[in-house]
Each structure stands twice: as structure tokens, then as C-alpha cells.
Amino acid sequence: MFASIKYDGKTFQVDLSKPIDISIPLTHTDDNPIAWYLDKPEITPVRMVDWIGKVSEGKSSTNFNNIFFNPHGHGTHTECLGHITGDFYSVNQALKTFFFTAELISVKPYEQGEDHVITNIQMRAALEGKTPEAVVIRTLPNETAKKSRKYSNTNPPYLDHAAAAFLRELGVKHLLIDLPSVDREHDEGKLLAHKAFWKVTDVNNLNDDTRHDATITELIYVPDHVEDGSYLLNLQIASFENDASPSKPILYAIL
């Protein structure tokens, strides 16, 4: 099945029968990635007295599980500015359309002392003047271990706030990255990249031009065989009235 899209003033086609899933599944195993000092997620059958919601246990006609997880720390998730504001804002209300032109770029974070940082200069060079609605950042090296990494207290790479501001000024509405956060793990609560991307200066008194419809998606994984370039992004979330939701971003190559 093919669909036509317009990008940079030209019309292209995408093959909807060839999705590229860049989400990390949530599992009840030690293979699940973990950030922010959490334990692994729990997926367990409901238990009521002598009844167990699991067909293989012989006491239920259905599998009936409870799931306990944190969207920010347990896998691919999409968040809105409500992640950092005093007032409540829901990602389910922020994200109202789901298809976007996107550029996939691969960047090796620049070493700055003990940190590894994605810089403004790297963003400008990688995008080469393109103005997509979404940017997908794959960091290098791109080990498959990202899909199960335990990030807590490891000081992962992050995005310099000037790079986040550049993406905002370019008109990028949706930022996707294969790290647990666009900001430094221990940053004294400054959250400079989050604030720069959403244009938040005071978390309790938002500007008129604060970007309520912009999102950040973290903890994705883009396999090596997927080439840098232009894509159609389908950004899918669960309908949670929360600052963040587990999500399933899908790329389609632009032909």
C-alpha cells in the first residue's frame, strides 16, 4: 500500500507495508531497559483468593494481567511540556495528529570532560538545511545493548540546550532520541534542553508562545540497517491523560 506525501515542496511516496518500528518493547524480564533508579516493570496475573488470571495455571479461561511500569524509565515514551510544568498538561491532549515528515540523523556525542554532548554545530551539520517536522537522533556508537541497558547513575550522553533551541527555531515539533533523557542525568533540576525545546522559561508561568503541541520521545532504538535520511513518521501513543505515555514510533522510508 502506497501513500503520497509532500516534503520540501515535492511529492513523494511511502510504502505503508514496510514499517520500521523504532520502539523498545516493555517486558517483565531483565532485558528491559531501565532508567531513573527504578526496578524492572511488572507484568503479573491478577490473583483473587484461589483464582489466578492465567490460562496455563488451569484456573482461568483468559490471561488477565496487571502491568506496573513507569513510562519515563521503562521504555520508549513520548512526553509533553507537562513533564516539567507546575500545572498539569496531558500528552494525550498535546498530540492530536500522528504523521510527520522526519529526518533520521546519526551523531557521535562530543566529549566534554566527563560528559558526552550532542551539540548545536552537530545538529546544523546533520540536517543540512532541511526543515522536517520531526528529528530522530541515533547516537553513535549504536550498540544493541541500548535495548536492555541499565542507565541509572551512568551519566548517559545528552543534548546541549543550544541544540534543542536550534531545533525549536527550525520549527521541529517532535524530537526523538535513543537516550533516557535529552538532559544530563544529574543536572540539579535545570532541564535546560527540555525547557529550550518547549520554550519554557518559568515552569509556573508559561509564555504565550510556549509550545504545547511539541513532544519529546526518548528511549527509542534505530537499528544500524536503517539509513540516515528522510522518512514519514507515525507517532503512536496510548491514550493516557498523563504528562507521558508509552509510545510506538514507526518510520516509513520516503521513496
Q: What's the pLDDT tens digit per position in 132-179?
A: 999 999 999 999 999 999 999 999 999 999 999 999 999 999 999 999
- Evaluate whether 157 touches 84 at the Cβ level (below 8 Å): no
The yes-or-no verdict on residue 8 having pLDDT over 90 is no
For residue 75, is it left (φ>0), alpha (ψ between -120 and 50) or beta? left
Residue 119 reports pLDDT greater than 90: yes
**Alpha carbon 67 to chain centroid distance?**
20
Q: Which residues neighbour 4 within 8 Å (Cβ) at sequence distance 6 or greater?
A: 11, 12, 13
Residue from 228, 241, 233, 239 nearest 217 by CA? 233
Q: How confident is the model at residue 2 (pLDDT cuts 50, 70, 90)?
A: confident
Residue 19 CA from chain centroid, whole number: 17
- Give the mean pLDDT of the chain: 96
Q: How far is CA 236 from the centre of its chain?
A: 11
CB-count burial class (<10 Å; 0-12, 13-18, 19+) for 90 = middle
Tell which residue, 193, 139, 149, has the closest CA to residue 24: 149
Please indicate, yes or no, if residue 56 is contained in any of the structural domains. no
Inside any domain, residue 242: yes
Counted domains in the chain: 1
Angle formed by the axes of helices 120-127 and 161-170, nearest 10°: 40
pTM over 0.85: yes
pLDDT of residue 7: 81
C-alpha dihedral (162, 163, 169, 170), degrees to nearest 10: 160
Separation in Å, CA 77 to CA 91, 111, 141, 204, 206: 10, 27, 22, 24, 24
Assign residue 153 a region (left: φ > 0; alpha: ψ between -120 and 50; beta: otherwise): left
Residue 55 belongs to a domain: no
Q: Assess if residue 53 is contained within a domain.
A: no
Residue 47 inside a domain? The answer is no
Give the domain CATH number at 207.
3.50.30.50
Q: What SS3 state is found at 82?
A: helix
Task: Flag whether 31 is in a domain.
Answer: no
Q: How confident is the model at residue 115 (pLDDT cuts 50, 70, 90)?
A: very high
Kindly tell me if the per-residue pLDDT of 192 is higher than 80: yes
> Which is more confidently placed, 49 or 23?
23
Percent of the chain with pLDDT over 90: 93
For residue 214, the enclosing domain spans 2-26+71-253
For residue range 222-235, what is the model confidence (pLDDT) as tens digits? 999 999 999 999 99
**Amino acid residing at 96:** K
With respect to residue 157, please indicate whether it lies within any of the assigned structural domains: yes
**185 Cβ contact list (under 8 Å, min separation 6):** 151, 153, 154, 155, 156, 158
**pLDDT at residue number 235:** 98
Q: Which grid coordinates belong to 18?
A: 514496510
Contacts of 79 (CB under 8 A, 6+ apart): 71, 72, 91, 215, 216, 217, 218, 243, 244, 245
Question: What pLDDT is recorded for position 54?
Answer: 95
Query: What grid cell was written down for 101?
Result: 515528515
